[in-house]
Amino acid sequence: MDIRQLKYFIAVANTRNFTRASEQLHIAQPPLSRQIQLLEQELGVQLLLRNSRPLRLTEAGRVFYEQALQITNRLDQLKSTTQQIGLNQRQTLSIGFVASTLYGGLPALVRKLRQHYPDLDIQLVELTSMQQITALKSGRIDIGFGRIRSNDAAVTRIVLREERLVLALPPSSPLAAEACQLSLKAVHGQKLIVYPKEPRPSFADHILSLLRDQSIRPSEIHEVREIQTALGLVAAESGLCLIPASARLRSDLHYRLIEDQRATSPIILTHRINDNAWFIDAIKRLATDVYAEHPSWLGTEHNPSPRE
């Protein structure tokens, strides 16, 4: 087995077609098919179901594809990093993030990274939590900041913070007159706005799961694409919305903290498993520094530390 065969298999798996893969690789189809056959013979398992249109991966083929992607991307990274060091170029760090982390600690963390490591070229890529997992495994990003827990065995996750949820209300809502914290049950029978609409699973599923755990049923659920739209609809008196405490973006709304200590949204750092890159420990240390400074968006009553 060699790297060329891995790249051939990845091309076939991506296109699900030998003809298109051969065109993409600029080789004839017969030698491409032969290399895939040799690969299957060496492994002793079938990777492709050839009698379907388009081609489909077997379960073994799916696992092999994911691992092959990691290997080829890591080799590309190795080549790039070595060349950068040899040519005295700046190292690139690609960070995936969900939009709501921009309202909390991510901007402060990135500023600290730039201050401490001025030669580091930092690239920020907006991705959902689930998209970050795929991007990590493919090598598109180096670390991710998301809010949805993943059980993918190829990725390590670290909960940096459990952020309390607040209920966003229009000023006309009777609940807005309440000065105290609200129970999650206040959502029962109300019109609820959740985001993002897609892709799923997402923060919307996290919220709906919290409600189902307590048999709380909104009268209507309206799904929208992003938090700005959700809060705009709240301002238009079209419903209520549960959001992380740091994401209180509009001054024309009222926000009430949810009293249930379990009603939180985690901020999760993810990276490839067994990745010992220096920047992972650096980011953990700087994230601790950010929280230790007690910024205005961070209050202990809104953002408790995760339970051990």
Q: DSSP letters of 59-104?
A: HHHHHHHHHHHHHHHHHHHHHHHHHHHHTTPPEEEEEEE-GGGGGT
- Residue 66 · residue 134 · CB < 8 Å: no
Other CB atoms within a 10 A radius of the CB of residue 32 amount to 20
> Which residue type does 265 have?
S
Q: Which CATH number do you get for residue 196?
A: 3.40.190.10
Backbone phi and psi for residue 10, each to the nearest 5 degrees, phi listed first: -60, -40
Same domain, yes or no: 140 and 186: no
Domain membership of residue 307 (yes or no) is no
Domain membership of residue 181 (yes or no) is yes
Count of structural domains within the chain: 3
Choose one of 83, 116, 139: the last residue of a domain.
83
Same domain, yes or no: 9 and 68: yes
Cα separation, 160 vs 271, whole angstroms: 13
Domain membership of residue 139 (yes or no) is yes
Same domain, yes or no: 209 and 280: no
Cα separation, 119 vs 90, whole angstroms: 6
Same domain, yes or no: 154 and 271: yes
Same domain, yes or no: 195 and 119: no
Same domain, yes or no: 60 and 205: no
Give SS3 for 198.
coil
Domain membership of residue 299 (yes or no) is no
Q: What pLDDT does 114 receive?
A: 94
Cα separation, 112 vs 105, whole angstroms: 11
Same domain, yes or no: 278 and 148: yes
Quote the tokens at residue 14: 């991506």
Cα separation, 112 vs 140, whole angstroms: 23
The domain containing residue 187 runs over which residues?
162-264
Q: Which CATH number do you get for residue 57?
A: 1.10.10.10
Domain membership of residue 301 (yes or no) is no
Choose one of 37, 59, 83: the last residue of a domain.
83
Other CB atoms within a 10 A radius of the CB of residue 120 amount to 14
Choose one of 53, 68, 83: the last residue of a domain.
83
Domain membership of residue 206 (yes or no) is yes
Q: What pLDDT does 87 receive?
A: 65
**Tens-digit pLDDT string for the chain (308 aa):** 889 999 999 999 999 999 999 998 999 999 999 999 999 999 999 999 988 888 899 999 988 998 888 888 878 877 776 776 666 666 789 999 998 888 878 999 999 999 999 888 899 999 989 899 999 998 889 999 999 988 888 999 999 989 899 999 999 999 988 778 899 999 999 999 999 888 878 899 999 999 999 999 999 999 998 899 999 999 999 999 999 988 888 889 999 999 988 899 999 999 999 888 899 999 999 999 988 887 766 654 444 444 33
Same domain, yes or no: 27 and 43: yes
- Which pTM does this prediction carry? 0.66
Same domain, yes or no: 169 and 35: no
Same domain, yes or no: 215 and 260: yes
Domain membership of residue 119 (yes or no) is yes
Domain membership of residue 69 (yes or no) is yes
Same domain, yes or no: 40 and 60: yes
Same domain, yes or no: 156 and 274: yes
